[in-house]
A = this chain, B = another copy of it.
Amino acid sequence: MRISELSTRSGVAIPTIKYYLREGLLRQGEQTAATRAEYDDSHLRRLRLVRALLEVGKLPVASIKKIIDAVDDESLPMHEMLGTAHYALGPTVEPEPGEEWQAARAQVDALIEEQGWHIHPEAPTRDELAQTLVRMRQLGVRIDLRPYVEAARKLVAEVEMRTIPFDGPRDAAVEALVLGSVLYGKAFDALRRMAQEAESAHRLG
C-alpha cells in the first residue's frame, strides 16, 4: 500500500508517519519509484505499537526507540525484549542513601525470594516498591503487603498474561503487554476508589 492508505488504515496522519520514519520508529517502505514507497501489514502493526506506547504508555520517543530496537533485534530472547518495554513503563526511582532505604530494599528482596519470583536483580520495580515502603514508614502508614502480593499474583497469572500472544509476532506481544499493563492498572485504580467510596458509605451511614 502507499503512504496515504497506510495513513487511512492506521489512523495516523501522513506528517506523523514521516516523522516516525525519520526517527527510525518505523522501517522505510520499499522504494518503487523516486517519490513512491510501498508499505505492508508489518508497517501497520508497527504503527499500532508506536501509538500504544505513545498514547497509552505515555512514553517519550527516546524510550520508544529503545523498545523498537529490542523488538527488531531477533537475537534477543522474547522475555528480555518484553522486559525492555516493561521496565520503560514504570517510574524511574533513585535509591536514597541511608539505613531506612537499605531496610526497605532488603524487605522487598526477601519478599521476592519468598514468592519464588524470577525477577532481575537490577529490575527497577525493586527500588520502586522500596521507595513506597520508605514513604509509608516515614508517614506512619503500616501495611501488610501479603494480601496485595496475593491479589497481584492471581490477577496477573489468571487474567493479564493470558491476553499476551507469546507465539505470534514480537510487535503484537509487546503491544499486548503495554496495553494490558497500563489499562488493567487504570481500571483497577478506578475500581479501588469505587470500593473505597462504597465501604465508606457502608461504615458511616
Contacts and interface: CB of A to CB of B under 8 A. Distances in A.
Contacts of A191: 129, 145, 148-149, 152
B119 A89 contact: no
Interface string A108-125: 000010010111100101
Nearest to A82: B200
Contacts of A190: 90, 125, 128-129, 132
A181 B159 contact: no
A108 to B, nearest CB: 9
Q: Give the one of A83, A154, A187 with max B CB within 10 A.
A: A187
B117 A198 contact: yes
Interface stretch (A19-27, A39-47, A58-66, A136-144): A136-144
Interface string A150-175: 01111111111101001000000000
21 contacts: A56-B135, A56-B139, A82-B204, A86-B193, A117-B194, A118-B198, A123-B197, A125-B194, A129-B190, A129-B191, A132-B187, A145-B187, A145-B191, A151-B151, A151-B155, A151-B188, A152-B195, A155-B195, A161-B203, A166-B204, A181-B196
Interface of A: 52, 56, 77-79, 82-83, 86, 89-90, 112, 115, 117-120, 123, 125, 128-129, 132-133, 135-136, 139, 141-145, 147-149, 151-161, 163, 166, 176-177, 179-181, 183-205
